[in-house]
Structure 1
Amino acid sequence: MPTAPCSPRGCVESARPWTGVPRAVLRLAALLAVVVLGVALLPLAARLRARSRQRWIRRWCLAVVHTAGVRTRITGTARPTGGVLIVSNHVSWLDIPLLAAVRPARMVAKAEVRGWPVMGALAARGGTLFIDRDRLRALPGTVREVAEALRGGSAVAAFPEGSTWCGRAGGRYRGALFQAALDAGVPVQPVRIRYRCEDGGTSTAPAFVGEDSLLASLWRVVSARGLVAEVSLRPPLAAGGHSDRRSLAKAAQGYGGDPGRPAAGHLW
């Protein structure tokens, strides 16, 4: 089971400028309100046509990120239709709404997420594909399930590092889910997510690593000043251009770009 050496005490910074407590409280309240409103409107959104529903999901996810006080800079274009495996490095819980803001997709998540209050039910309703990381024998079945979703024209988003990292370092992309793209004959779209502070340097404030609690991570995000999330989408990689899942995983990871260089793009 993939693990990362990152921890809240060893990696997550606390010396950057912080916004005032009243503003942080307002951001947290606004964030919770947007999440609750979105959950309440999900039954209505499900009745919309596919294009309108995707537009609504993208706007809602951007609202979640922006009400937390995080600006976004998105570069590149997501494959608009058809089956595609979207893969990204993994730093924070913010990564999930950021990916959905560029192309709503079925997420691949660890099985424990299903048991989370509210979020677990929301994830299951959204078509999340769960991986039981304690039962390696179940992995081939999960790969087949992902491949079936891809063949059906769905976008599937995954974090192939298998664990969150602080953002200054990252893990190796594991090949299992890339086999699903090969089996389904669909492209892989690499994405690189970076978090920057006011001076343009890498920020680890949004990192959700180790034994960190969601509440502690939420508070760091809403308290941070000048936090920018950069989402860089690279052109899709044709699955047929690689002989096996390991070479495809290596290509996707190397294609993500240099995490030390700020991306150019429109700031929201």
Structure 2
Amino acid sequence: MIGKIRTVLAFGCVVAATVVLVPLQLISMKTRLWPETFILKIWHRAVTRALGIRVHTHGTLSNQRPLLVASNHISWTDILVLGSLVDVKFIARADMENWPAIGKLSKLQRTVFIERERKRSSGDQANEIASRLAKGDAMVLFAEGTTGDGNMVLPFKTTLFGAASMAIAEGAAEEVFIQPVAIAYTRLHGVPLGRRWRPVASWIGDQDLGPHLKQLLAEGGLDVEVHFGEPIAFSKRSNRKETARVVEARVREMMQAALGEPVK
């Protein structure tokens, strides 16, 4: 009964926030009346609170530009969490563009959709990301290329760092800063999530979104930590594969530290 009541109330809050803020975001995009991410940040915060997600931060987003944020990926809620904290734009898989509601909301925050399996289109996609970096957008790259179970960081896809190389090659910047960021879901109703139960927070692969959303609406009380590491300068002399390995290692280190000693 409590779960059903909570689901109704939380869903109502999400709908209310969306109905009020989406028109304001459309106005903002057309008139530049507010900074582009101002309304988005309010929406992300409203939804995370409705879902009962408590966000704890360590460190801050770098103010250096161009900036590529390289993060691990556990759930669709990662976007809400990061979007509630910092002014960033996202890089997402192409099929999300056609998802009901989610696709349209993603377009409102100028998400770049990429087809990771189609090499023919990878050049154009990297070029768009490079262009956005050059314009000063901080772009979030979920560098594993998929979602994990929340217990470990999967290997980073080095090809996804191609936009940084392209931005430099085209003369848009002499170097791109890559900031490692770790996301860790650590507690449920104040109780530490062990290895067995941590996947409750995760949304893996082709899992249906509806059941996972329903579970979060009913459950609530989820704690997540976001750790911002020191940015790494990537230049034309840098090795893409080596840089990816270094960033991956730093994300893994921060994530394991968060899981080992979660914030109370």
Q: 149, 167, 191: which is aligned to 1:199?
A: 191
Contact 2:227 2:254 in 1 (8 A): no
Distance 2:19 2:217 in 1: 17
**Structure 1 gap ranges (5+):** 1-17
The change in CA–CA distance for 1:227 and 1:217 in structure 2 (over 3 A counts) is same
CA RMSD, aligned part only?
Answer: 2.5
The change in CA–CA distance for 1:179 and 1:118 in structure 2 (over 3 A counts) is same
Contact 1:206 1:220 in 2 (8 A): no
State the match for 2:10 in structure 1: 27
- Secondary structure of 1:239's counterpart equals strand
Residue by residue, what CA displacement relative to the aligned partner does 1:143-173 show, whole Å, maximum 9, x if unpaired?
1221121112111111111111110133111
Distance 1:19 1:170 in 2: 34
- Please state if 1:116 is matched with 2:99: yes
The residue correspondences of 1:93-172 to structure 2 (distance < 5 A) are 93-172=76-155
Letter in 1 for 2:93: K
The residue correspondences of 1:37-48 to structure 2 (distance < 5 A) are 37-46=20-29, 47-48=31-32
- Please state if 1:188 is matched with 2:184: no
State the match for 1:239 in structure 2: 234
Higher normalized contact order (CA 8 Å, seq sep 6+, divided by chain length): 1
State the match for 1:259 in structure 2: 255
The change in CA–CA distance for 1:134 and 1:53 in structure 2 (over 3 A counts) is closer
The change in CA–CA distance for 1:71 and 1:19 in structure 2 (over 3 A counts) is farther
TM-score normalized by structure 1?
0.83
State the match for 2:217 in structure 1: 222
- Percent identical pairs in the alignment equals 28
Distance 1:226 1:122 in 2: 25
Greater fraction of residues in strand? 2
Aligned length: 249
Q: Which runs of 4+ in 1 moved over 6 A?
A: 263-267
State the match for 2:62 in structure 1: 79
Q: How big is the shift at 1:204?
A: 2.2
Distance 1:44 1:189 in 2: 31
State the match for 2:243 in structure 1: 248
Distance 1:33 1:45 in 2: 19
**Structure 2 gap ranges (5+):** 168-174
